[in-house]
Amino acid sequence: MIAPAVAWSMIAPIVIVLGAGVVSVLVEAFVPAKARRIVQLMLAVTAIAGAGIWAMVLAVSRAGTGESAFAGHLLIDPLALFVQVAVAASALVAVFVIADRTADGEDAFTPQAAAAPGSAAEDKARAAGLVQTEVFPLVLFATGGMLAFPAAGDLLTMFVALEVVSLPLYLLTGLARRRRLLSQEASFKYFILGAFASAFFLFGTAWVYGAAGTVNFTDLIYEVTGGDPRLDPLLYAGLAMVVVGLAFKVGAAPFHMWTPDVYQGAPTPVTGFMAACTKIAAFGALVRIVYTVVAPLQWDIGPALWTVTILTMIVGTTVALTQTDVVRMLAYSAIAHAGFVLTGVVSFSSLGISGALFYLFTYGLTTVGAFGVVTLVRARDAQGNIGGEARTLERWRGLGRTSPVLASAMTLFVLAFAGIPLTGGFVGKFAVFAAAFGADAAPLAIVGIACSAVAAFAYVRLIVAMFFAEPTELSAVGVKTEGLTGVAIAISAIATVVLGVWPTPVLDFADKAALLLP
Amino acid sequence: MTHTVALVTAATEVAAAPATGAIALMPLVVAIPLTSAAILLLAGRRSDRWGHLLGVATPIAGFAIALAGLIDMLGHPADGRSFTAVLFTWIPDSPGGLAVEAAMRIDPLSLSFVLLVTFVGALIHIYSIAYMAHDADRRRFFAYLNLFVAAMCLLVLADSFAVLFVGWEGVGLASYLLIGFWNRRTQYAVAAKKAFIANRIGDVGLLVAMGLMVANFGTLDFAGVFAEAGEASTGLATAIGLALLLAACGKSAQFPLQSWLGDAMAGPTPVSALIHAATMVTAGVYLVVRSLPIYVQAPTARLVVVIVGAITLVFGAVVGAAKDDMKKVLAASTMSQIGYMMLAAGLGPVGAAFAIMHLLTHGFFKAGLFLGAGSVMHAMGDQVDARRFGALRRAMPITWVTFMAGWLAILGVPPFAGFWSKDRIIEAAFVGDGAAPWVFGTVALLGAGMTAFYMSRLFFMVFQGKARWTDDAHPHEPSPLMTGPMIVLAVGSVALGWVLSATGFTGWLAPVIGPADHGDPVLHVPVITVATLVLVAAGVALAWRMYAARPVPVLPPPGGRLVRAARADLYQDAVNNELLVKPGGAVVTAAAATDTYVVDGAVRGVAWLAVAVGRVVRLVQNGYVRSYAATMVAGVIVLVAVVLAWRV
């Protein structure tokens, strides 16, 4: 057997980030503790930015064509490249939030993950001012998986990418500096449920292989349309289970239940990273499966996807209304957004793809910004000492008075989530709903419009609390940091506005990306 | 009497030319106040000293540009007065997709509106300098006012429903910020929230209408939509028309989404004058008139528009007659007058021109009345209870005279402004076949009498009779910065109706909304005019007997059932609470409960499943993972079942 030809330039974005992850592990081992953080940060930023720029250059220079690398196991087509650029953009901003420290040098992560919460070892580590930088290699590995996820050319590669994304995230979830029990619990829940979902994905893959004799997307299309009809039930059930595995990752109902707990327990910078980048990458993979293998079966699997879409929008929207914890509210809102993106995905049209892709691009950047704000809004005790994050709505009262810039940024982000014009959120909603209207999926779009109108109340509650309520003694304050989060919030805010006012370049890019191999 | 009225005269859609000359400058009308708002908000406290001056300058500049545009436009022939100015491509074209240009349409309709917004806006900005002089946040107030002017101009200048929606949300946001401007007081924040909710319901209507346009016409440009609408089926046109009406109801406080307007009076009075009387609340009327080519295809939708207008007209008048809060009376009156406009707009081309004309005259006299009310509040230490006023005519002669001009204008006494516009609407309501003209004509006619009663009641209670002031009140005229705009608006209240009629305003609008061939009312025109004036006189006389000839009690008398109902806004909040808030809350609670209990519980019922999953559970000291996983299993089973069932 001869080794397959590898198109190195096509897979460079993935190789760069995963390679940087490996180097990053070496940095942990060999670079002195003092210099470690800055080296890690530079490495991560350079690798992710480099990967994003490389993917963008590829997308522009290949102008709408694609190529398979690794003998069809990876498909580097415009869809994959768009998703890679979007993941890199959001990940880059998220790394800023992850790396930031408060003015007195405290980051969001536990000083010693191995120490039991509340133990003497933990106190000692805290007193010694230990700072762990393992988050950087973990983030790099997860990002590498996210870059490969939408480019997978067969179900097994996709599964490997899924696991490469997930495993570092399970760990990252458990690393919170404060409320460590909650964080560890969330990590464990995420792991169990994630493994459960992966099992469905893998089991579905096995069934598909049993029915079709292949897991390669290109070959599957022929099998789906012209295979042995007696094996159809096996094939369809298998594909449905594969879709379930991905629906778990994007947080679609009824596979969404991990989302609020994990978002709440994880260190908030990690939550921002997960909410944005994982969702973008998983949707990229979902689009690939839905538009290659499932598309010929849209009359069979379509109703199930419609059910999931409608359920996701309704659950996310209604439950978000009753939340009093800002992070949980954002988590349910993330579920609702998954439903809105699904509206574009299940409309089975190229406009649906480009609408969904644009939506993800703008949603990712806005989400990172919103969680960035949450990391800075801190509780204050009677002596005026600043503590952990203040997440209850009650404590956000009067933030507009005490930290007007933070409150204004958050207002912009939630207005974008609500789909108010001149924000990227509006153009995204416009694109997916217009696609649904244009593709005989008007009921989905109408449910979507109604849900986004209702969801606005959840957001307006936050705005009312920030601007129309008096600050109390318990009210949170903005914490001073080294400034990286501020940079991230500024980038997110600018992107949110620019994508609303002048979305043309990104929409054009997304239109061209609605072209899949094969 | 012949009924050969061409009710359905298709609005002539004139091909729009690229904007040139002064008309090409119109985008600046949006850009200038927007820039100013940004500067004022970003510069912060540093601009406190000169911020209000910048804020005042921008609507004046906007008005100058609009005036130059008007002169330029008058130089073109009547059928060549439609121009577009393309700014940039907002959402690019894609195969089978939907392109949206960020473009502006400058035609007689939009230009009339821009002139109103910038002129009245400029006056109210000037007034606010003095009115808000003692507020530490005056600069921020001007920033919001500028933001509003920019958004309102964008709304009316838009060349597509998508761009219109941007302005639509923009005015909503500005209104929200301004109602809640004094956000230190809780009830103001509540009012702001209520306005937000009503507007969101309206937004759903606009979005659904836009969705239907995209699905069926493949475009959102006015030109494209209206061209396609000519061939659209009646059912489709009706659906779009009703969805647009829902949007208009939210924005214009029409039945059944009217409840927010009264509470919105909590904002500073100049805001009430500009946004909640002269401009923003009339955006719904603009939307309906602009979309006339769609309504022309949908008689049912038009009928519903007329019915909504008629109901709101009476509703506002009844509420207005019972309120003692001066600003709430004016708010109810605004609701009622917009009901007139809505009714006229729903009549189609025969009434639409008069709807816009009444919109303009109402913009003047209602803004004048609000500024007068602001002047009274300013003099009386921010009191609003008309029962504690009286005899202010001597203490505040300028306010008295300007308020009187607005009062006579809204009554429709010739030759004041309202006579020229409202009387025509009443005539138009009498045009048609069958029972409809009798019903709507009579409602419009009675509405005129009721308007006369409640406005006279307010006028007499505030300015005539004996003084019933609280002890600490020392009324005085405000500064010339406040009286100046009031005088200008009073002049408009006197003369604008006549000027518009004499200069052929309906003919000016004809290229946009079709010729306003009046048709023959079912009654002779002089009969209608005389009947209207008789009813108005009766209303004034009744108010005089009750509120000027007799002393007015300082505390409101208990009143009959209807009075009590009207004081409670005809129980609109209670109705909303029962119909919307409670079921909505129940649905949410149920959904939340379903999420935690029902799904969980139902799944637990499947014993073997629970056992199978239970093995995983023992690993964690937490019951929830079990149910999460079980939900997933249930989801998978249902999903696979659906897929396979569909196959069979």
Task: Label residue A151 by pLDDT band (50, 70, 90).
Answer: very high
> What pLDDT is attached to residue B612?
43
User: Residue A370's pLDDT is what?
Assistant: 96
For residues B577-598, average pLDDT: 53
- Residue B596, chain A, CB below 8 Å: the answer is no
The winner for highest mean pLDDT among A85-99, A470-484, B70-84 is: A85-99
Tell whether the model's pLDDT for residue B560 goes beyond 70.
no
Contact A63, A440 (CB under 8 A): no
| B527 contacts chain A (CB < 8 A) | no
Among B528, B494, B336, B343, smallest CA distance to B413 is for B494
Residue A43 confidence (pLDDT): 96
Q: Is B280:B171 a contact under the CB 8 Å cutoff?
A: yes
Handedness of CA A55, A57, A62, A63 (dihedral sign): positive
Per-residue confidence (pLDDT) for residue B140, from 0 to 100: 84
Amino acid at B605: G
For chain B, what percent of residues have pLDDT higher than 90? 14
Q: What percent of chain A has pLDDT over 70?
A: 98
Residue B412 is classified by DSSP as T
Report the pLDDT value the prediction gives residue B562, as an integer from 0 to 100: 65
ipTM: 0.84
pLDDT at position B96, please?
61
Are the C-beta atoms of B550 and B460 separated by less than 8 Å?
A: no
- The span from the CA of B638 to the CA of A311, in Å, is 13
What pLDDT, on the 0 to 100 scale, is given for residue B602?
Answer: 42
Q: What is the CA radius of gyration of chain A?
A: 22
B208, B587, B644 member nearest A236 (Cβ):
B644
How high is the pLDDT of residue B620?
A: 34
Per-residue pLDDT band at B386 (split at 50, 70, 90): confident
Give the least confident one: A327-341, B87-101, B525-539.
B87-101
The residue ranking higher by pLDDT, B566 or A157, is A157
The pairing of strands B83-91 and B100-106 is antiparallel
Chain B CB within 8 Å of residue A401 CB: no
Count, residues in chain B: 648
- The answer, for A188 touching chain B at a CB cutoff of 8 Å, is yes
- The mean pLDDT value for A200-209 works out to 94
A322, A460, A467: residue with CB nearest B592: A322
Q: What is the 3-state secondary structure (H, E, C) of B327-361?
A: HHHHHHHHHHHHHHHHHHHHCCHHHHHHHHHHHHH
Q: A294 in contact with B at a CB cutoff of 8 Å?
A: no
pLDDT band at A287; cut points 50, 70, 90: very high
* Pair A350, A79: CB distance under 8 Å: no
The answer, yes or no, to whether residue B215 has pLDDT greater than 70, is: yes
Average pLDDT, chain B: 80
Residue with tokens 């003099």: B379
- Name residue B18's beta-bridge partners: B84
CA–CA gap between residue B564 and residue B553 (Å, rounded): 16
Is the pLDDT at B329 greater than 60? The verdict is yes
Tell me whether B70 touches chain A (CB under 8 Å).
Answer: no
Residue A412 lies in a domain: yes
Contact B233, B241 (CB under 8 A): no
pLDDT exceeds cutoff 80 at B182: no
Residue A136 — very low, low, confident or very high, per pLDDT cuts 50/70/90? Answer: very high
Task: Let me know: does B318 contact B570? Beta carbons within 8 Å.
Answer: yes
Question: For residue B475, what are the CA distances in angstroms to A201, A478, B384, B396, B548?
Answer: 79, 46, 13, 7, 20
Q: Is residue A2 a part of any domain in this protein?
A: no
Contact assignment for A503 to B91 by CB distance below 8 Å: yes
| Residues of chain B with C-beta less than 8 angstroms from the C-beta of A453 | 200-201, 203-204, 207
- Range with the poorest average pLDDT among B312-316, B555-559, B586-590: B586-590
Q: What are the angstrom distances between the C-alpha of A360 and each of A68, A277, A429, B334?
A: 24, 9, 10, 44
Give kind and range of the element (H or E) at residue B103: strand B100-106
Q: Is residue A13 part of a domain?
A: yes
B624 interfaces chain A, CB cutoff of 8 Å: yes
pLDDT, residue A482, reads 87
Angstrom CA distances, A61 to A65, A85, A350, A357, A509, stand at 9, 14, 21, 20, 12
Residue A12 lies in a domain: yes
Residue B597 has pLDDT above 70, yes or no: no
A104 touches chain B (CB under 8 A): no
Percent of chain A with pLDDT over 90: 49
B647 and A233 in contact by Cβ < 8 A?
A: yes
Nearest alpha carbon to residue B586 among A465, A448, A321: A321
Sign of the alpha-carbon dihedral angle for A76, A78, A81, A87: negative
Specify the pLDDT at position B471.
72
Q: Which residues fall within 8 angstroms of residue A439, CB to CB, at 6 or more apart?
A: A347, A348, A349, A351, A352
How confident is the model at residue B189, as a pLDDT? 62
pLDDT at A484: 92
Per-residue pLDDT at B605: 43
B595 at interface of A, judged by CB pairs closer than 8 A: yes
Task: State the pLDDT at residue B587.
Answer: 54
Determine the pLDDT at residue B565.
67
Binding-face residues of B in 93-152 toward A, CB within 8 A = 94-98
Exposed, middle or buried: residue B578 (CB in 10 Å: 0-12, 13-18, 19+)? exposed
Mean pLDDT within B557-566 = 66
Mean pLDDT of A419-432: 90
pLDDT at B13 over 60: no
Residue B466 has pLDDT above 80, yes or no: no
Q: How many distinct structural domains can be found in chain A?
A: 1
Average pLDDT, stretch A374-400? 84
Cβ–Cβ below 8 Å for B215 and A442: yes
Mean pLDDT across the stretch B585-612?
46
Task: Report, as an integer, the average pLDDT of B614-643.
Answer: 67
- pLDDT value, residue A157: 94
Query: Which of A59-73, B165-179, B357-371, B497-511 bottoms out in mean pLDDT, i.e. has the lowest?
Result: A59-73
Q: Please determine, for residue B599, whether its predicted confidence score (pLDDT) is greater than 60.
A: no
- Candidate from A364-368, B10-14, B196-200, B575-579 with smallest mean pLDDT: B10-14
Max mean pLDDT range (A401-405, B43-47, B360-364): B360-364
Reported as type and span, the H/E element at residue B298 is none
**Could you list the residue range(s) of the whole structural domain that residue A398 is in?**
8-513
Size of chain A in residues: 518
Q: What is d(CA B274, CA B350) in angstroms, rounded to the nearest whole number?
A: 28
Report residue B580's pLDDT band, with 50, 70 and 90 as the boundaries.
Answer: low
B551 or A145, which is more confident? A145
Question: What pLDDT is attached to residue A450?
Answer: 87
The per-residue pLDDT for B647 is: 63
Contacts of A435 (CB under 8 A, 6+ apart): A343, A344, A347, A349, A351, A352, A354, A355
| Beta carbons within 8 Å of B409's beta carbon, 6+ residues apart | B361, B364, B365, B368, B416, B417, B418, B419, B493, B494, B497
Q: Is the per-residue pLDDT at B193 higher than 60?
A: yes
Q: What is the pTM (predicted TM-score) of this model?
A: 0.81
- Higher pLDDT: B267 or B249? It is B249
- The pLDDT, as a whole number, for residue B607 is 34
Q: Is A238 exposed, middle or buried (0-12, 13-18, 19+ CB in 10 A)?
A: buried
3-state SS track over A186-236: HHHHHHHHHHHHHHHHHHHHHHHHHHHCCCEHHHHHHHHHHCCHHHHHHHH
Give the closest of A200, A314, A351 to B96, CB-based.
A351
Q: Over 90: is that where the pLDDT of A248 sits?
A: yes
CB contact under 8 A, B595 and A460: no
pLDDT digits (tens, 9 = 90+) for A41-89: 999 999 999 999 999 999 888 776 777 777 788 999 899 999 999 999 9
Asked which of A24-28, A46-50, A434-438, B630-634 is least confident by mean pLDDT, the reply is B630-634
Give A 193-212 residues with CB within 8 A of chain B: 193, 196-197, 200
Domain assignment present for A518 = no
Residue A264, pLDDT > 80, answer yes
- B98 pLDDT above the threshold of 70: yes
User: What is the 3-state secondary structure of B567-587?
Assistant: HCHHHHHHHHHHHHHHHHHHH
Position B326 pLDDT exceeds 60: yes
Q: Is B593 on the interface with A (CB under 8 A)?
A: no
Question: Is residue A1 situated within a structural domain?
Answer: no
In a domain, A456, yes or no: yes
Q: Measure B352 CA to nearest chain A CA, in Å.
A: 29
First vs last C-alpha separation in chain B:
66
Mean pLDDT, rounded, for B167-194? 74
Q: What number is the average pLDDT over the span A121-133?
A: 79
pLDDT tens digit sequence for A359-385: 999 999 999 999 999 999 988 877 777
